[in-house]
Amino acid sequence: MKLKLSALALTAALFAAGPARATTEIQWWHSMGGALGEWVNDLANDFNATQKDYKIVPTFKGSYPESMTAGIAAYRAGNAPGLIQIFEVGTATMMAAKGAIVPVAKVMTDAGLKFDPSVYVPAVAGYYTAPNGQMLSYPFNSSTPVFHYNKDAFKAAGLDPEKPPKTWPEVALAAAKLKASGHKCPFTTSWVSWTQLETFSAWHNVLYATKNNGFGGLDARLAFNTPLHVRHIENLANMAKSGLFVYKGRDNAADATFVSGECAMMTGSSALAGNVKRNGKFGYGISALPYYPDVPGAPQNTIIGGASLWVMAGKKPDEYKGIARFLNYLSQPAVAAKSHQRTGYLPVTKAAFELTEKSGFYQQNPGYDVSVNQMIRKTTDKSRGVRLGNFLQIRTIIDEELEGVWRGTRQPKEALDTAVRRGNEQLERFQKANKS
């Protein structure tokens, strides 16, 4: 009798407690490897520890191009992740993918969360915002090109480690001294199109493409073969012939050569800072990008790089609620500030920047504010950024043409003219495919 009563009591207790709520898993595909991959995993784990209703499951899907290709294929197959990281080059493609994505602003408001686009850093949020003012994706890891340099190498070459070159003529002079001191790779660059053409254009307040660099319509066409662009590529070509500039490959291949100490100066992503801080064995300096002092209005502002998080369509309402909660968590000033300080990516919100500034972080880590200062200058229609269709293919074309210049087999003007012609063919294809 006692056993029956105990069983009844246990059953009653279980029914009173109600059915256990299952945890909703949210797949998050990303392209962050190494130290940045650890950062992504930590963000997911920290969020998961704050509640029990949702579980963010991050999965590395290869490089940015590989991840985007995988995401598009997965959507067509009906098994896309809830959240996917897409680099800025894929923004126009994602915007044109009708029905494939759900705007972040809608996801947040549908979940009942307060969503105010004005709290985000304008230059960052603006890039991922539609003409109607609706934010389409979450500006997760936004970077901008900066000038990295090895202070120890500067000392060895007789250069002042606290006075990095500010102009391109000064970069050439510094490179010559570094070479004379025995350095075999005085200067290199990663992401050639992004640093030497796209951002170079904005930094000097000249167009990279017509229609305000693509923001004004799909009928934009490339315009980076002006006398100023040709002059710059000619200067880099001359530096390459003299051993002052050493091309290390496409995308971010040059990053490792700077972190190892092989190359003394580099233009590349501000997000490299976290890797250098962790793995570099030398005095590290960060400075603003070089510019040509005779160009009126230069320097202007740099443009966005990195990636944003896109919410894929076709998911259940509960999954969207979890995504909204996660994005809301990432936007918290303390979380966003910690990410900025850890990685070198730009702060997502104004509050994160102010919190970092008040903490004394920039005084303790000179140079980490360079990326922010370069981005918060007043932008113009020529310097807002570049948003083009088939942008990944255009960058590949630029790499192909300029590699001939670095080898000494192509003339700079011929290479740029050809890149513009071939790139415009890609833009025409994209325009025809997305007329609506």
Start-to-end Cα distance in the chain: 75
Tell me if 232 sits within 8 A of 171, measured CB to CB: no
- Say yes or no to pLDDT of 3 above 50: no
Phi, psi values for residue 284, rounded to 5°: -115, 135
Q: So what's the pLDDT on residue 19?
A: 54
Q: So what's the pLDDT on residue 20?
A: 57
**Structure-model confidence comparison of residues 127 and 177, the more confident one:** 177
Tell me if 105 sits within 8 A of 117, measured CB to CB: yes
Which of the four pLDDT bands, split at 50, 70 and 90, describes residue 184?
very high
Q: Which two tokens stand for residue 400?
A: 């192909």
Residues pairing with 85 in the sheet? 309
Which of the four pLDDT bands, split at 50, 70 and 90, describes residue 127?
confident
Mean per-residue pLDDT, 175-180: 98
- Say yes or no to pLDDT of 8 above 70: no
Consecutive H or E run containing 145: strand 145-150
- Say yes or no to pLDDT of 120 above 90: no
Consecutive H or E run containing 52: none
Give percent of the chain above pLDDT 70.
95
Compute the Cα dihedral for 371, 373, 376, 382 and give only its sign. negative
Mean per-residue pLDDT, 331-343: 94
Mean per-residue pLDDT, 205-217: 95
Compute the Cα dihedral for 197, 203, 209, 213 and give only its sign. positive
Compute the Cα dihedral for 31, 326, 112, 347 and give only its sign. negative
- Say yes or no to pLDDT of 183 above 90: yes
Q: So what's the pLDDT on residue 14?
A: 46
- The DSSP letter of residue 291 is B
* Residue-wise pLDDT tens digits, 61-72: 999 989 999 998
DSSP letters for 407-430: HTSS-HHHHHHHHHHHHHHHHHHH
Mean per-residue pLDDT, 79-101: 91
**Structure-model confidence comparison of residues 1 and 34, the more confident one:** 34
Phi, psi values for residue 147, rounded to 5°: -105, 115
Which of the four pLDDT bands, split at 50, 70 and 90, describes residue 1?
very low
* Residue-wise pLDDT tens digits, 424-433: 999 999 999 9
Give percent of the chain above pLDDT 90.
77
Q: Is 420 exposed, middle or buried (0-12, 13-18, 19+ CB in 10 A)?
A: buried
Mean pLDDT (the chain) is 92
* Residue-wise pLDDT tens digits, 353-386: 999 999 999 999 988 899 988 987 778 888 888 9
Mean per-residue pLDDT, 53-67: 95
Which of the four pLDDT bands, split at 50, 70 and 90, describes residue 244?
very high
Which of the four pLDDT bands, split at 50, 70 and 90, describes residue 5?
very low
Q: So what's the pLDDT on residue 319?
A: 97
- The three-class DSSP label of residue 6 is helix
* Number of Cα atoms under 13 Å in the Cβ half of residue 298: 21
